[in-house]
Amino acid sequence: MKKVLLLPSDHGGGRGHVARSLYLAQKLNQLGCRTAVVLDKQFEKQKDPLVQLVRFNPRWEKIVKYQLKRPVKPAVRSTSKLSALPVFHQIGSLAYQVPRDNYLSERIVKYRLKHLGKIIDRFKPDVLIGDTHFLTRLAGKRYDIPVVQITRLAGFPERPKFLWWMEEKPFLEEPDGAAPFRKAARDVGLEEPQRAEDLLKGDRYIIPAIYKIEPIRNSDKEIYYTGPLSPTRFTPKRLPFFEEKNEYPRIYITIGGGSIRYNEEYFFNLLIDIFNRSDFKVLVTTAGRAPAKQFNGRAANVYFVDWVDGPSAVYHSDLVIHHGGYSTTIETLLGGKPAIVLPSHSEQEGNGYRLAKLQVGEVVPIYSEPLTPLEFVWPYGKYTINVAYNLDLNGPKLLQKINDMLYGGAYERLKRVADQLTDKQEESDFLKIISF
């Protein structure tokens, strides 16, 4: 029996990474493997009787963070004066995830790697599967365990293309994301990483899509396109608001957990102004960011809920407006529904432009001002993010894009993409992928 330990990126609360790992763990269990998924921030939120969950809980990290050399207590802080909280963040690589996930010193890396080592000693896996987890390769080398990495074009370790749609790259002073890990890499016998993506190298790679969505070329490593690591068939839940007799197109709007982090109430009020008395029936989920009941009753054709089953809402809709998260992007493709993406950071923007390239979606910015740099300092120097502060959603442009998508032939193209995703998932040999 193969034993597989899955390590999704979770120090920052990566729900999409966690969902993929849980799905893959279930599939491997069905194939006779024994699996476990290591979780940090998402541990309390996940309840899955089909998958063993292991808590990554370094209880003493707040104390371990202190060190003799300066800075005594490593931290990330902004040196820019904020006139408001940003609504859009432009970044240029996965390096920004390192300070976000609080890898702020060699001491913290060593401590987390030791904690992960205790989990490995107990579980004794034959294979490690990482999903943008910066310790996976280090642990694999230390314990001589083969590593499979779940990756995408944006962070593909051999040749990452994060801002692939831009002809001219913006100026960004990126953090040295490899810096906290270099000593740990030397200690386990790895070549020193030069960039954060080097830490995500593996013996094999899983791409949770198809080639036309994630076109990775010319790698000397084994690459397996598996289609989505999520269910492709399900029984949709009833949504009375969408099931009422209606002659107008149905639009589902979700901002997602990682989208409009600020000015949520203003954003929802904008939606009411844009869609009130329009020729659309609109269902909006607030994701608990603001009470849905305070927005209802102001527009007869717009209804707010705190939470809704996402795949079911996609199934019942004619078009989806979302933040550009990877999971929602795949859900719309599988559901055969065109999408309008309102991104709040660059990774979401890239997902939106991938839909646009497939001619099944459009990107509408949520700001109109020029981006300005926001500077941060951390123990390994300074870095910048380009940001926009003012939420500005162009209503006429959004409505025009919706009409273009509804009546521009996107549904036929979506049917082909959905069939290809499903076929690729069904033909994938997951046992072959983990067999070394």
Is residue 145 situated within a structural domain?
Answer: yes
Mapped onto helix, strand or coil, the DSSP state of residue 404 is helix
Note down the domain range covering 25.
3-57+103-225
Tell me if 136 is assigned to some domain: yes
Q: How far is CA 289 from CA 44, 265, 342, in A?
A: 20, 8, 17
349 within some domain: yes
Domain harbouring 139, CATH code: 3.40.50.2000
Same domain assignment for residues 30 and 149: yes
Q: Are residues 284 and 217 in the same domain?
A: no
Question: Is residue 407 a contact partner of residue 213, using CB atoms and an 8 Å limit?
Answer: no
- Claim to verify: residue 373 and residue 266 sit in the same structural domain: yes
Q: Which ranges in 235-287 belong to alpha helices (H)?
A: 240-243, 264-275
Q: Which residue pairs, CB below 8 angstroms and at least 24 apart, start in 394-401?
A: 394/364, 394/365, 394/368, 395/270, 395/273, 395/274, 397/364, 398/274, 398/321, 398/340, 398/364, 399/274, 399/278, 401/340, 401/362, 401/364
Side chain identity at residue 3, one-letter code: K
Tens of pLDDT along the chain (436 residues) come to 899 999 999 887 778 899 999 999 999 999 999 999 999 888 777 777 789 999 988 777 888 888 888 888 899 999 988 778 899 999 999 999 999 999 999 999 999 999 999 999 999 999 999 999 999 999 999 999 999 999 999 999 999 999 999 999 999 999 999 999 999 999 999 999 999 999 999 999 999 999 999 999 877 779 999 999 998 888 889 988 887 777 899 999 998 655 455 678 889 999 999 999 899 999 999 988 889 999 999 999 999 999 999 999 999 999 999 999 998 999 999 999 999 999 999 999 999 999 999 999 999 999 999 999 999 999 999 999 999 999 999 999 999 999 999 999 999 999 999 999 999 999 999 999 999 9
Task: Tell whether 25 and 171 lie within a shared domain.
Answer: yes
Task: Name, in order, each residue with C-beta under 8 angstroms of 4's C-beta and a sequence gap of 6 or more.
Answer: 25, 28, 33, 34, 35, 36, 125, 126, 127, 128, 129, 434
Domain contains 250: yes
Q: What is the pTM of this model?
A: 0.94
